[in-house]
Amino acid sequence: MHSQGDRALRQLWGIDPPTVRGPKARWSPLEVADAAVALADAIGLEALSLARVAARLEMTTTALYRYVDDKATLIELMVDRAIGDVPAIDGADWRDRCRRWVELLAARYAQHPWLSEVSPTGMPTQPRAYAWIDALVSAIDVESVDALRLAMLLDGLVRTYANLERTVQGAPPPSWLGGEIADRFPRLAGAESQDVTDADAERRFAVDAVLRGLG
């Protein structure tokens, strides 16, 4: 006997056919997830609730429980829908293919900023998450590199810098801070003016630093 959350994941993997408890359903679980994705894109993950998703679909919250048990189950489905299918990973060599993979995944996070709010609790459970990892592992064709560990590291970098882009507001530092830093930590003079709000540039630097140390 499977829980409803487990059934939802089994349906994502194609193990079980899409089913909903009770009378004939107006929506499929994946259509519910698509509606939740669109709503999270507009209001963020924290503001998302089953009641708001239900309202978007013109149903009661009670009726939505026919599709998902709770918000956590819904988020599992949403992540799979939001990251989508893996595009072709091209590049002259394995490092270029790693960079391309990062840029493609980062674009999905930019399209759905709330993805960076989903805190991993272990290895992913969605098929598309594994498809992305598998695509990068396949693109790394050198035996000296632990492709799976590198894929997980780069996945974490994408999440980290997507979260940076979402949360850093870029307020200027107080005018006196530069002088204090220069006096006390002269090797760090000017650090306070570094633009960390350019998350794309920071992510590319981090990825290049990782790749230079491999192979």
Cα 197 from Cα 96, distance rounded (Å): 25
7 falls in which pLDDT band (50, 70, 90)? confident
Give pLDDT tens digits for 147-165: 999 999 999 999 999 998 8
Q: pLDDT digit string (tens) for 102-161?
A: 999 999 999 999 999 998 887 888 999 999 999 999 999 888 999 999 999 999 999 999
Provide the pLDDT for residue 215: 61
Measured CA to CA in angstroms, residue 44 lies from 83, 109, 158 at distances of 16, 13, 18
Cα dihedral 127, 6, 4, 43 sign: negative
pLDDT of residue 2: 47
User: 150 in helix, strand or coil?
Assistant: helix
pTM for the structure as a whole: 0.86
The 10s digit of each residue's pLDDT in 166-211 is 877 666 778 888 888 889 888 888 776 766 667 888 899 999 999 9
Instruction: Return the higher-pLDDT residue of 185 and 100.
Output: 100
Across the chain, mean pLDDT equals 88
- The residue behind tokens 């489905």 is 77
Mean local confidence (pLDDT), 19-36: 79
Which residue type, as a one-letter code, is found at position 180?
E
The phi and psi torsions of 28 (rounded to 5 degrees) equal -95, 160
DSSP, collapsed to helix, strand or coil, labels residue 121 as: coil
Mean pLDDT of 17-45: 84
